[in-house]
Amino acid sequence: MLSAAISSFVLAVVLGLTLTVLGLRYRRGSLPLAAAHVVAALAGLALLLQHIANSPTQRAQNLAAFLFVLALLGGLVLLGLRLSKLEYRTPPPMIVMVLHAVLAVFALLLLLV
């Protein structure tokens, strides 16, 4: 189950990187790509939480789950900014995007170790 969660998170990272390139280089987004990014990340988080619930406690996995939840909150902030009327045509704030990505990638590295 942990390997499926890791695979799902890797897919979410690849989709997120693609979204970042679209946003920075072409100044546009892709709603289907963003939806796939969210689904992959949520599926990975659900699989990770199920693994944590069914296995002995491991600190690295617990910390990774916590960091993924923080990254999820950052993603919700980004979504809120994209859906608001003030930020619809402008790229999202880079600091939020970078924090979202760094938290998620660090959590993924914790799972891989």
Write out pLDDT tens, residues 95-110.
Answer: 888 999 999 999 999 9
What span, in angstroms and rounded, lies between the C-alpha atoms of 20 and 97? 9
Q: Give the position of tokens 């992959």.
A: 40
What span, in angstroms and rounded, lies between the C-alpha atoms of 48 and 2? 6
User: pTM for the whole thing?
Assistant: 0.88
Token pair, residue 43, equals 């599926």
Write out pLDDT tens, residues 62-98.
Answer: 999 999 999 999 999 888 877 776 555 666 778 888 9
What pLDDT was estimated at residue 106?
95
Domain locations in the chain?
2-112
| Stretch 43-64: mean pLDDT | 92
